[in-house]
Amino acid sequence: MALRLDDKKAVVTEVAAIAAKAHSAVAAEYRGLTVSDLTTLRKTARESGVYLRVVKNTLARKAVEGTDFACMQESLIGPLILAFSLEDPGSAARLFSDFAKTHDKLSVKLVAVGGKQYGASELERLSKLPTRDQALSMLLGVMKAPIEKLARTLQEPHAKLVRTVAAVRDQKQAA
């Protein structure tokens, strides 16, 4: 059933609002996937904070116009499913990367981050970006390391003295 003009405007408005606040976008060709496969993909997307939508390319071009994803306009060709990362930049890439491991029919066509479009080869790099929580824990570990090293360094002379005294004690007891 064809969309009426009001329905088309609603789709464009909805996708444009999501694209305006998204961190990254991934477009993939879904030709050959079954309905149950797409349902599984949509369920996984909802759980991981990814907005997933099959949109006509002309409507998608209008929706991304004026956003960071305007660079994608020329590449929106064929039956595509769009995924926008809302929580962290790598979530849509992780979703498609994990799903493509078990479903070879899903073919990623392009990735867009920060106003630049990249090829499908960059999907793996984007999917390996840490989440916000992982990045914060890594930063905390880096910040905590010098303090821990200082504490160990300050503690070492005392520990060395104790070990030396214990070695002398053991040596005298053995004799």
Mean pLDDT of all residues in the chain? Answer: 87
How confident is the model over 46-65, as a mean pLDDT? 89
Backbone torsions φ then ψ of 169, nearest 5 degrees: -60, -50
103-133 pLDDT, tens digit each: 888 888 888 888 888 888 888 888 887 788 8
Question: What is the H or E stretch that residue 85 is in?
Answer: strand 80-85
Positions of E strands within 93-147: 107-113, 116-119
64-111 pLDDT, tens digit each: 888 888 888 888 888 889 999 888 888 888 888 889 888 888 888 888
Asked if residue 29 lies in contact with residue 105, where contact means CB atoms within 8 angstroms, the answer is: no
Structure tokens at 146: 């010098």
Positions of E strands within 12-114: 24-29, 50-54, 80-85, 107-113
Backbone torsions φ then ψ of 162, nearest 5 degrees: -65, -40
Q: Give residue 74's identity as a one-letter amino acid code.
A: E
pLDDT band at 169; cut points 50, 70, 90: very high
Structure tokens at 173: 């007891």
Q: Is 0.85 surpassed by the pTM of this model?
A: no
